Amino acid sequence: MNNIKTILNTATKPLLYVGCHNALSAYIAQQAGADGLWLSSFELSATYRLPDADILTTSEYSHIINTISDRIKVPLLVDADEGHGNAINVLRVTREYEKNGADGIVIEDNVYPKQCSFYSGKKILEDPKLFCGKLKAAKDSSSADFFIGARTEAFIAGLGIDEAMNRALMYQDVGNADAIIVHSKIDSADEVLQFAEQWSNCGGHIPLVCIPTTYNKIKYDDLYNAGYSLIILANYGIRSTVNALKDVYSTIINGDSLSTGNKFVCPMTDIFDLVFINLLKDNEEKYINEFKK
């Protein structure tokens, strides 16, 4: 198991965890240099053509976690929504995700069933005391090395810096979270930077994490220097995939031959490398052909 807690507390540069949704996207992100992977509920739900509204089951998540963790070496951090229910659900979620190869989870303080942070409509947050119960359930049902991140949606709900800070401190002190994920959906980094500036002065001492989807022009180093040790690069995997598929499918359907799509696709040999064809051949020789002699 990769110990995300140790990695975070000893980081000397911003750690970049890239959003993924299956084993292929995870491996490509790792090969590109990602420090870790973020199994995003937004991305995974989209692959099922479902909204990000806590519809997928623990078993469906566990299956994907298993297929990813078996093929990567970097840490795998799982977006566990609000825990898929109450604290009793969290007990099973945490146990199953760790068993299937996750190195940690992030739980958010939305009520069940959660709605994606970027969907329109009023956001209602979980009572912070009940949320601390979820964090304790996650701690009690996992190993000492398993990472439990607490994500506050106070800014998303429009509740301001004081509510965000009070919740984060409670999740640290009562819930014993390993890090605080501060989420914001405005188009500047003002909220997350304000939070980081006040965090240590208010008694915060665990690492901070951010997800700069909407304020994506800020430099990684600027976020790191402000206090964010881990930066989650969420949902670009699925959004770029959608764009690429739209382009190539439209081109080959409306063109006069399949070759009109050649500019969009990689060589077949690249796919062979991604799925370890050479390893397959080596194993066939070792375990099949050798015994035919």
Residue 207 sits at φ, ψ, to 5 deg, of -65, 155
Predicted TM-score (pTM) of this structure: 0.96
* Structure tokens that stand for 26 in this block: 């995870």
Q: What is the pLDDT of residue 101?
A: 98
Q: What's the pLDDT score for residue 7?
A: 96
pLDDT score of 121: 83
* Total residues found in the chain within this entry: 293
Q: What is the pLDDT of residues 230-282, one digit of tens each?
A: 999 999 999 999 999 999 999 999 999 999 999 999 999 999 999 999 999 99
Could you read off the pLDDT of 125-142 as tens digits, one per residue? 999 999 999 999 999 999
| Residue 58 pLDDT | 96
Q: What is the CA radius of gyration of the chain?
A: 21
For residue range 16-75, list pLDDT tens digits in order: 999 999 999 999 999 999 999 999 999 999 999 999 999 999 999 999 999 999 999 999
| 142-188: pLDDT as tens digits | 999 999 999 999 999 999 999 999 999 999 999 999 999 999 999 99
Tell me the C-alpha distance between 146 and 144, whole Å. Answer: 6
- pLDDT tens-digit profile of 190-211? 999 999 999 999 999 999 999 9
pLDDT band at residue 120 using 50, 70 and 90 as cut-offs: confident
Could you give the CA distance from residue 100 to residue 15 in angstroms, rounded to a whole number? 24
Beta bridge partners of 232: 17
**Cα separation values, 38 from 9, 42, 84, 213, 233, Å:** 18, 11, 18, 13, 8
pLDDT at 292 over 90: no
Distance CA 255, CA 171 (A): 56
- What average pLDDT is seen over the chain? 96
Q: Which domains does the chain have, with CATH numbers?
A: 4-241 (3.20.20.60), 257-291 (no CATH)
109 is catalytic: no
User: Which pLDDT belongs to residue 122?
Assistant: 84
Residue 290 pLDDT level (bands cut at 50, 70, 90):
confident
pLDDT band at 81 (very low <50, low <70, confident <90, very high): very high
- How is residue 276 written in tokens? 């370890």
Give me the helices (H) in the chain, please.
Answer: 4-9, 23-32, 41-47, 58-69, 87-99, 128-140, 160-173, 190-199, 220-226, 236-254, 268-274, 277-287
Q: What is the DSSP string of 24-41?
A: HHHHHHHHHT-SEEEE-H
Q: What is the reported pLDDT for 28? A: 98
Residue tagged active-site, from 52, 79, 81, 109: 52
